[in-house]
Structure 1
Amino acid sequence: MSEARDTVGYSVGDGVVRIGICNPPVNALVRDVRAALIAAFDRAADEEGAVAIVLYGEGAAFASGAELSETDGTTDAPTMAELCARVEASRLPVVAALHGTVLGAGVELALAAHYRVADAETRIGFPEVKLGLMPSAGATQRLPRLAGAGAALEMMLTGQLWSIDDAPAEALADLVVEEDALAGAAQFVEALLEDGGAVRPTSGVRSGFSDPMAYQQAVTQRREALASAPELAPREIVAAVEAAILLPFEAGLAFEADAAQTCRDSEQSRALRAAFVAEHRARRLGLPEDAPLPDLSRIAVLGGGPLAIQLVFAALVRGIAVQWGTRDPAALREGVPRLRDVFDEFVRRGALSEDDALDRLADLRIGDSAAMTGGVEMIVHAARGQGDVPAPEGIPRVSALPGKVRQVGLRFAPPIHAARLIEVIVGPAAMPEQIVAARALAKALDKIPVRVNSRGESIASRLLAACQRAADALVDLGQHPYEIDRSFRDWGWHRPPFLASDQRGLPDLATRPRAEGARNWCEVMVGHDRAGRTGGAGFYLWEGTPPVPSEDPELTALLDAERPAAKPLSHEQIRRLIFGAMANEGARMLASGMVARPSDIDVVATLALDLPRWRGGPMHLVGVYGLLSVRRAMDGLDHPDAAFWAPEPVFGELIKNGRSFEALNR
């Protein structure tokens, strides 16, 4: 007989109860599914003649975690921990049939089963750590019992996906089959019943504890490696895995639950969860989430020079065939060997094998620009003078060049092959198919696109300019550049304002205007023959190969001769003011329509300016500090650049309604 009960299927045949999770697209274990699964297990316990249970997932995968929104408050009963406890307590042996990508709570559910059968393509992972969270349904206690501390920590601390039939995940499966996990589970049950049909709660397994010394050594090594890391969740995971061998199982579960709640309530996790949602939202580029995207298997890159080389390399290493065209044959004669040098460097570093590099280069065609535009799905302009190159009708064209944008421009965060950000500049004459193509390219390159409505300005450039202008203002008021930078480094930002200015080069920054009575301190440095990193001295001294920054004792005397000393601000005051200024610039971008939502600004801040993801971007941070507190700090700053520091009206509107910038995300 068979019966569908909401999102869980239930059937019995030959004494075997089959319980199927059916909550497409990924079988998320949300509250209703958890409740239905418990009801199905209760029903199976009373099923006359039942001898075993097979738990499986319909569709593309066995199961995945619950919705992220459940981490924002109290989880509705039954919790995942309660579901896993119910599964493990079954009087009938439970065999989980795994397939597809099994994530988070889905793996925890599989661990609660007594046995696991998986097809060879199954991959498992614990992504919680990337959100500042940790497993909370027993994985820190059950997984080490099966796999030991080393393998368990490797899986839970990296957040990566692991093949079920390879280390470190191989200990999870009792049987790996080539194709149909459900059929494999049926055969496994048959053999199990012939052998007596014993239940085997994972809580009672001890194989992972067989070498206590090696277990503790793995814990100690991970703890020492994380000693200087700022993130909370990895340390709590290590502590919970250590508790697994030291405490009785139930006490270990209580330890895990307490640690998981600590992570869930932390500001770090709130920032990481906000970043995850923001990146997912930004990827849409203002298009419907399910908008069809073209398959980008081959693109044309037009133009020579360093930008073109970086783009060609980034596409090739992601498996996208490239037709590289220029109007100047000399540009290709110079560029192709330089491209090969980049591949050689990656092979030398072990990032690519020789065979992989050759395979990627085999996907490259070169020639005259006009000859390279046929047979591609998209054209990217990487140098001037390519705009009038003829191309087949209907092929979208975008520009990766800096400067003004009429249609669609791409601003890649450097280095292009590794950085995750593309700002998609949507100009006044942009066509929908160009935006769709930009989204498809970002997906193919595994990058996060952020839409910017402008004629060429990017979010990153506006934020960076606001940061430098605010930092300059604090120097005007007597603060020391080193103390400003130290306030951010100690907080976790390793590219603080003045160090970043030196790295970028001071002459370009020196031309940026300031209000009357305010100073551009890059201009001051350049006036003293200090050009930044490439010149050996800027705000810092730069020595060695490659150049390494160190504080310059002479800088203090130089500053004291240029402006009066003043009472130093606390590090907290410095951060509040500079992040307030950046958020204020973000508010201006929102008001002008340049940006659709505050979270897009934060995505750019973390990916392009390297603000620590576990802290969040400026729009998130002013909410953490409190908008009223930030507005008062900016209002109270006695500085000539009054217009820059004046809080935008949206601050007052949000404060009046007791909200933060998160309320404007959509």
Structure 2
Amino acid sequence: MSEVVTYSREGAIGVITVNYPPVNALGHAVRSGLLAAVEQGQADGEAQVLLLVCEGRTFMAGADIREFGKPMQEPGLPQVIDAFENCRKPVVAAIHGTALGGGLETALGCHYRIALTSAKVGLPEVKLGLLPGAGGTQRLPRLTGAQKALEMITTGDFVAAPQALELGIVDALDDGKDAKAAGLAFAQSIADEGKPVRRVRDLTDKVEADKGSAIFDQFRAGLQKKARGLFSPFKCVDAVEAAFNLPFDDGMTRERELFMECMESPQRAGLIHAFFSEREVSKVPGLAADTPVRDVKSVGIIGAGTMGGGIAMNFANVGIPVTIVEVQQEALDRGLAIIRRNYENSAKKGRVTQAQVEERMALIKTSLSYDDFKDVDLVIEAVFENMAIKKEIFAKLDEVCKPGAILASNTSTLDIDEIASATKRPEDVVGMHFFSPANVMKLLENVRGSKTSDEVKATVMAVAKTIKKVGVLVGNCHGFVGNRMLHKRGAEAMALVNEGATPQQVDKVLTDLGYPMGQFAMSDLAGIDVGYRIREERRKAGEDVEASWMDKLAEQGRLGQKTQAGVYKYEDGSRAPVVDPAVDQIIADFRTEQGITPREISDQEILERCMYVMINEGAKILEEGIADRALDIDVVWIYGYGFPAYRGGPMFWADQVGLDTILSAVKKYHDSIGGEQWQPSALLDKLVNEGKAFGDL
């Protein structure tokens, strides 16, 4: 018997206990132990009912990630679940924490399930490009019916225990905190009432009710938009449909076939890379795990605009009080009204209760005076991208804030060291670059200055976790990681249109790759006036700024979605971009002014120039130590810019394409176009010469 699984008896109940910290993952030792324990329980003449329970903070939370990529050792999970399901004595699963993936599949193999009210269940395999491979697609729909099983399995979303009871996934709830006690009482009631073994595989009423319905075709049609470009959600539908069309054992065979198709898909490799990378970014190279972290119990925010308000919501959502400072009361009132409207919209959708709306609003105070920052632990400046204004603000903060307060800028491009130079405490200054909308987007690009202390770095990474963001620590340069690469892509996208492509052709190449929107649709979303103002400021400063047809759009009041016209036009109440012939004319006139004869441009050239320029820049970012690892760049792009997670991030994707292919194209464009953006990265050159990839760094 494995030491991580034990068997004991309490009265008439045989207790199988899993204790494999931290999450009781279904590794080889657990699987072997479960098989031995159920055999022991079956042979125990004094045990009338068996109870499966887990120690620690959770029930079994799925596969053991330590075994990913290694050959599966027997017994496999389906064999273990069969042993539970075919046990001659009733088996009860007592669920606390989370029962996920293989953990829920094991519970479904038991005959009865009780859960603590605080528990959650789910089958999240689709998020790794897989489908439940141990009977989840066959057993769950026998309890819930087709629609709910399809929703759970194709999204991977968790279901709270009260909803799991309504759906029939669990048989009973317990309001207490002791899963074992709840399980023993429930198991004893089954013994006392002489309830029989009840196998989920034998339940047919839900199968009969949905058999032959149009639900599967309708669900696939809906997925075309929601899961565009993804492989595994459609295989999940095929597997669930098999539960309704085939006998149980044949359905299990079909599930296994579909599972293996997902295993062989390149999307699985990309999603698993994204999954591990998200966990890895919190471990910063060179930053000791035991670096002290400062308490952040109150936060100040400068600016009540879109970014400032969204940032404030992140802290209020987790119970941290916020003070927002603005120069005018009107701006504060407007900002607070937008925050309330956002919360009210969430309440209408059932994401929060009305009581939570009021609790969160009560945590957000407003002020016209920096003096109200004297006791806060962290201040985040979120004003317009203007270095002079930011330095003025940081000089004031330096005077007002207490020693040890962290002074952060939400700048998306500007030099953190120059901002820090306005203070006498550069070690406490850091960049915290939130992405818009800040209350929704998961990425937090934390930017270390040359003097930022390790304590401050560790603290802002911990803050990211507290406010449920994916924090990535990067170095200081213009645009940091994400925007530095985006600027290169944007310049190539503009050049391609100048030379003869259309904005919609460029955008389609990017959306076909898996981005949710293309370069020009993104410009419309962000607002064309943002880039226009920056270019105008640079022109006023005497810089030589290239002419752009985008300036003509801004001068005509075509500022993007907010004016229902930008590069595209937008119908009332719709965010869908519509091609506008007026813009084609503006572009044609611009080409004539500039003496450009348009040419035919292939989709392949667009892909290469938009993507390979990013990869070359990413390699330079790694060379310079702005990003410590290729995976840091991947995570920034997946969570900040919508790079398709199933492609693993731009640097992972580059490895799949082949660095030799990319370098060859970079050299070709360096010869034909020139410019520093096409100067081949020394690191890219080195990796190709050594036959290595970014993943080898």
Structure 1 and Structure 2 fold alike (TM over 0.5):
yes
Please, what TM-score do these two structures have when normalized by structure 1?
A: 0.88
Partner in structure 2 of residue 253 of structure 1: 252
Equivalent residues of 2:123, 2:136 under 8 A apart: no
Q: Matches of 1:333 and 1:507 in 2, distance apart?
A: 26
User: Is 1:398 aligned with 2:408?
Assistant: yes
SS at match of 1:387: helix
Q: State the shift of 1:25 in Å.
A: 1.1
Partner in structure 2 of residue 186 of structure 1: 184
Equivalent residues in 2 for 1:34-433 (5 A)?
34-68=31-65, 70-72=67-69, 74-167=71-164, 170-179=167-176, 180-196=178-194, 198-212=196-210, 216-228=213-225, 229-286=228-285, 287-288=287-288, 293=293, 296-302=296-302, 307-325=307-325, 328=327, 331-344=328-341, 346-347=343-344, 350=348, 354-367=354-367, 369=369, 371-383=371-383, 384=390, 385=393, 386-401=396-411, 403-406=414-417, 407-433=429-455
Q: Which shows bigger deviation, 356-365 or 103-112? A: 356-365
Q: Judging changes above 3 Å, is the alpha-carbon distance between structure 1 residues 541 and 127 closer, same or farther for their aligned structure 2 residues?
A: closer
SS at match of 2:26: coil
Q: State the shift of 1:107 in Å.
A: 0.4
Q: Matches of 2:398 and 2:660 in 1, distance apart?
A: 53
Equivalent residues of 1:154, 1:168 under 8 A apart: no
SS at match of 2:8: strand
Q: State the shift of 1:118 in Å.
A: 1.8
Q: Matches of 2:444 and 2:148 in 1, distance apart?
A: 35
SS at match of 2:513: coil
Partner in structure 1 of residue 423 of structure 2: none
Q: Matches of 1:497 and 1:617 in 2, distance apart?
A: 17
Q: Judging changes above 3 Å, is the alpha-carbon distance between structure 1 residues 603 and 242 closer, same or farther for their aligned structure 2 residues?
A: same
Q: Where do 5+ consecutive residues of structure 1 fail to align?
A: 514-518
Equivalent residues of 1:539, 1:555 under 8 A apart: no
Q: Judging changes above 3 Å, is the alpha-carbon distance between structure 1 residues 77 and 477 closer, same or farther for their aligned structure 2 residues?
A: farther
Q: State the shift of 1:199 in Å.
A: 2.2
The letter for the 2-side match of 1:437 is: T
Q: State the shift of 1:32 in Å.
A: 2.2
SS at match of 1:436: helix
Q: Which shows bigger deviation, 577-586 or 176-185? A: 176-185
Q: Matches of 1:117 and 1:236 in 2, distance apart?
A: 30
Q: Matches of 1:301 and 1:642 in 2, distance apart?
A: 40
Q: Judging changes above 3 Å, is the alpha-carbon distance between structure 1 residues 345 and 634 closer, same or farther for their aligned structure 2 residues?
A: closer
SS at match of 1:76: coil
Partner in structure 1 of residue 567 of structure 2: 540
Equivalent residues of 2:242, 2:251 under 8 A apart: yes
Q: Matches of 1:244 and 1:281 in 2, distance apart?
A: 37
Equivalent residues of 1:412, 1:423 under 8 A apart: yes
> What value does the CA root-mean-square deviation take over the aligned residues?
3.2
SS at match of 1:55: strand
Equivalent residues of 1:300, 1:325 under 8 A apart: yes
Q: Matches of 1:544 and 1:45 in 2, distance apart?
A: 67
Q: Judging changes above 3 Å, is the alpha-carbon distance between structure 1 residues 241 and 36 closer, same or farther for their aligned structure 2 residues?
A: same
Q: State the shift of 1:247 in Å.
A: 0.6
SS at match of 1:227: helix
Q: Matches of 2:566 and 2:366 in 1, distance apart?
A: 44
Counterpart pick for 1:609 among 641, 650, 665: 641
Q: State the shift of 1:104 in Å.
A: 1.1
CA deviations on 1:272-326 (whole Å, 9 max, x unpaired) are 2222222222234454557675564422224565543343344324432113345
Partner in structure 2 of residue 639 of structure 1: 672
SS at match of 2:301: strand
The letter for the 1-side match of 2:316 is: L
Please, what TM-score do these two structures have when normalized by structure 2?
A: 0.85
Identity of aligned residues (%): 28
Q: Which shows bigger deviation, 167-176 or 237-246? A: 167-176
Counterpart pick for 2:585 among 554, 560, 570: 554
Q: Matches of 1:248 and 1:211 in 2, distance apart?
A: 15
Q: Judging changes above 3 Å, is the alpha-carbon distance between structure 1 residues 527 and 239 closer, same or farther for their aligned structure 2 residues?
A: closer
Counterpart pick for 2:492 among 455, 470, 482: 470
The letter for the 1-side match of 2:618 is: G
Q: State the shift of 1:427 in Å.
A: 0.3
Partner in structure 2 of residue 653 of structure 1: 686
Q: State the shift of 1:477 in Å.
A: 6.1
Equivalent residues in 2 for 1:16-35 (5 A)?
16-35=13-32
The letter for the 1-side match of 2:361 is: L
Equivalent residues of 2:302, 2:324 under 8 A apart: yes
The letter for the 2-side match of 1:626 is: G
Q: Judging changes above 3 Å, is the alpha-carbon distance between structure 1 residues 80 and 163 closer, same or farther for their aligned structure 2 residues?
A: same
Q: Matches of 1:130 and 1:598 in 2, distance apart?
A: 21
SS at match of 1:495: coil
Partner in structure 2 of residue 516 of structure 1: none
The letter for the 2-side match of 1:242 is: E
Counterpart pick for 2:617 among 551, 565, 585: 585
SS at match of 1:507: helix
User: Is 1:621 aligned with 2:653?
Assistant: yes
Q: State the shift of 1:112 in Å.
A: 0.8
Q: Give the length in aligned residue pairs.
A: 651
Q: Matches of 1:464 and 1:83 in 2, distance apart?
A: 49
The letter for the 1-side match of 2:445 is: E
The letter for the 2-side match of 1:550 is: V
Q: Judging changes above 3 Å, is the alpha-carbon distance between structure 1 residues 168 and 219 closer, same or farther for their aligned structure 2 residues?
A: farther
Q: Matches of 2:180 and 2:35 in 1, distance apart?
A: 21
Q: Greater helix share, 1 or 2?
A: 2
Q: State the shift of 1:560 in Å.
A: 6.3
CA deviations on 1:78-106 (whole Å, 9 max, x unpaired) are 22222212222223322111111221111
Q: Matches of 2:546 and 2:570 in 1, distance apart?
A: 22
Q: Which shows bigger deviation, 142-151 or 13-22? A: 13-22
Q: Judging changes above 3 Å, is the alpha-carbon distance between structure 1 residues 483 and 555 closer, same or farther for their aligned structure 2 residues?
A: farther
Q: Matches of 1:278 and 1:532 in 2, distance apart?
A: 42
Equivalent residues of 2:397, 2:407 under 8 A apart: no
Q: Judging changes above 3 Å, is the alpha-carbon distance between structure 1 residues 105 and 472 closer, same or farther for their aligned structure 2 residues?
A: same
Q: Where do 5+ consecutive residues of structure 2 fail to align?
A: 384-389, 418-428, 539-543
